[in-house]
């Protein structure tokens, strides 16, 4: 079962290869008055759960919008704990992005519709 944070972030991963920093922005739309540090921790927890569930993969991206390369789940889990992984990158830097897996798309389609998105 996924919670509202996880569903919102999974939607981002379905729409596009979204940067980790964008997951925090997405949660801001759910809680505009929530403290930044709390949102960042919620995003880390949600992405980690989605990753462990096999619903997202994590990719390294040469910014801006360069080539994506899949990283292992083990490396991704370690990377989620690095504060710099959540910073919006500058051109010429590397970012971490998430993309939905086929299992993630199916899980999203079967989850309660907290956010009223149309399923892809």
Convert the pLDDT of each residue in 98-108 to its tens digit.
999 999 999 99
Q: Which helix (H) or strand (E) holds 78?
A: helix 73-80
pLDDT tens across the length of the chain (120 residues): 889 999 999 999 999 999 999 999 999 998 889 999 999 999 999 999 999 999 999 999 999 988 999 999 999 999 999 999 999 999 999 999 999 999 999 999 998 764 444 444
Class of CATH domain 4-110 = mainly alpha
Q: Which helix (H) or strand (E) holds 92?
A: none
The domain locations on the chain are 4-110
In angstroms, rounded to a whole number, what is the distance separating the alpha carbons of residues 13 and 40? Answer: 17
In angstroms, rounded to a whole number, what is the distance separating the alpha carbons of residues 90 and 74? Answer: 25
């Amino acid at each position: 079962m996924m919670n509202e944070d996880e569903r919102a972030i999974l939607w981002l991963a379905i729409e596009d290869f979204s940067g980790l920093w964008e997951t925090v922005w997405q949660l801001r739309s759910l809680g505009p008055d929530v403290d930044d540090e709390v949102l960042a921790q919620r995003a880390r927890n949600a992405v980690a759960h989605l990753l462990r569930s096999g619903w997202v993969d994590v990719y390294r991206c040469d910014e801006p919008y360069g080539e994506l390369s899949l990283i292992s789940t083990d490396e991704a889990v370690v990377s989620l704990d690095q504060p710099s992984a959540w910073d919006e990158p500058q051109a010429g830097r590397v970012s971490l992005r998430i993309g939905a897996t086929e299992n993630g798309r199916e899980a999203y389609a079967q989850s309660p519709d907290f956010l009223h998105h149309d399923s892809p």
